[in-house]
A = this chain, B = another copy of it.
Amino acid sequence: MAHEVRNRLSELRRDFHRHPEPGWREFRTTARVVEELERIGVDEIAVGREVLATDERMAVPDASELEPWRERARQAGVRSDVLERTADGNTGVVAVVEEGEGPCVGVRVDLDAISMRESTEDDHRPAAAGFRSEHDGYMHACGHDAHLAIALGTIEAVKDGDFEGTLKVFFQPAEEISGGGKAMAEGGYLDDVDYLLALHVGLGHPTGEFVAGVEKPLAMAHVTATFEGASAHAGKAPNEGGNAMQAAATAIQNAYAIPRHSDGMTRVNVGSIEGGTASNVIAEEITIEAEVRGETTGLMEYMRTELERVLYAAAEMHDCDVTPRVVSESPRVDSHPALRDLIGNVAWGVPGVDRVVPATDFGASEDVTYLMQRVQDNNGLASYVLIGTDHPTSHHTPTFDIDEESLDIGVAVLSETAIELARRRP
């Protein structure tokens, strides 16, 4: 039966892999999850606006970017009821399984892919085996396709198992752009969750290894800013207008020079820039994409405040305007040690798991922290676990792939953990 399950999980994962969709545009992915849930038969399937605090969504593209994906989904045969419920980029699903009295256990996975052209090389298995991305320029290069398969498998396993309580699985949109975490955390379905399990595959851990709890994700804010000055002829009127190029250069230099903080690690980066029209025109408009991070939420906020001060002063210096906009944000929340220990103990008994790492530092950012925060604020416990999988190349590369063996290991650990947690009274 394990073989059969794995086949089904592999098929599911490959179907998701073939149809990657970027954040807030996971129309087909949402529909596919719904279909699968209907097939499994769960007690409640909530979609889109029903599961999101819509106004808390971050980094939502405008209609011109949403519509082509929605249209593509429509033409691919996606059901109109799902398309309606996900209108305006309100993607996402929550599945609820009720199995009597007991605690509420949550599982969180993510729906979105990234913009990257998948490899066509023969030694890239998705290409060789025929499940390479069919959406050119987009790819499941981070393993969210595997997360979806594991989540769906877990629901089945829990239903089949000796579980007493409620299972809620959160299929969150827009993780890659830190856009969906907050909206889902505040969407209502999380409010009665006692234990939250978030998961990720790989991240350097091989198949058979399992990390019971991730610590020290960096809190993060993604900030965009457009300097607006006034253009003028660089030869005839160099003194007129406001030079957005000089404002941006001053801001960038000083952004990297924001002082280190005694309380811990910080980060700052200006990752992209664009603007100006021609070499002989004073640049009127320059846009930068920046981010700041901190070992704690407070440190991230220190960096964001300082970055904003730098941006405003640089604009002022060159007679320009600027309005920094926080596109998305995620706090730092650590896995709870008690839950981590419990999960680690369960994992030891799961076939296929040959090494359990109690905890590991993260070093990157994840907006699941919004959900973890919410649960812990409500006196629940949360842990972010890593399911090892052999991956030939790094996440976010065109030849990323996973070892499908890890799919049912993931299902086993998660379902066993859920069952074990249900046994305990919160």
Contacts and interface: CB of A to CB of B under 8 A. Distances in A.
Interface of A: 218, 220, 222-224, 233-240, 243, 245-246, 248-250, 252-254, 256-257, 259-283, 286, 289-291, 293, 302, 309-310, 312-314, 316-319, 363-365
A280 B364 CA distance: 10
A252 B256 contact: no
A309 B316 contact: yes
Given A262-B237, A309-B316, A313-B316, A283 B257 contact: no
A416 B238 CA distance: 38
Contacts of A220: 235
Q: Which of A249, A291, A313, A319 has the most CB of B within 10 A?
A: A249
A253 B317 CA distance: 12
11 contacts: A224-B279, A234-B269, A238-B259, A239-B261, A245-B269, A245-B273, A269-B281, A270-B283, A271-B278, A273-B273, A278-B289
A60 B237 CA distance: 28
Contact of A234 (B271, B275, B310): B271
B270 A245 contact: yes
Q: Which of A240, A266, A278 has the most CB of B within 10 A?
A: A278
A282 to B, nearest CB: 6
A250 B248 CA distance: 11
A303 to B, nearest CB: 10
A326 B260 CA distance: 22
Contact of A283 (B223, B271, B313, B316): B271
B239 A262 contact: yes
A218 B245 contact: no
A227 to B, nearest CB: 11
A363 B240 CA distance: 15
B272 A276 contact: yes
A283 B273 CA distance: 9
Contact of A289 (B246, B268, B279, B289): B279
Which 8 A/B pairs are nearest by Cβ-Cβ distance?
A272-B276, A256-B257, A313-B317, A234-B269, A249-B252, A279-B291, A271-B279, A279-B289
Nearest to A295: B265
B260 A266 contact: yes
A93 B273 CA distance: 41
Contacts of A261: 238-239
Nearest to A261: B239
A364 B271 contact: no
A235 B289 contact: no
Contact of A279 (B222, B239, B260, B318): B222
Given A245-B252, A257-B257, A238 B313 contact: no
A234 B294 CA distance: 12
A318 B218 CA distance: 25
A280 B175 CA distance: 14
A281 B310 CA distance: 21
Given A239-B259, A239-B261, A250-B250, A282 B271 contact: yes
Given A271-B280, A271-B282, A273-B283, 14 more contacts: A235-B291, A235-B365, A236-B364, A239-B263, A243-B259, A249-B270, A260-B260, A260-B266, A270-B279, A271-B276, A272-B275, A272-B276, A273-B274, A273-B275
A276 B273 contact: yes
Contacts of A257: 246, 253-254, 256-257
Given A245-B270, A250-B250, A260-B266, A235 B278 contact: no
A255 to B, nearest CB: 8
Contact of A293 (B235, B265, B283): B235
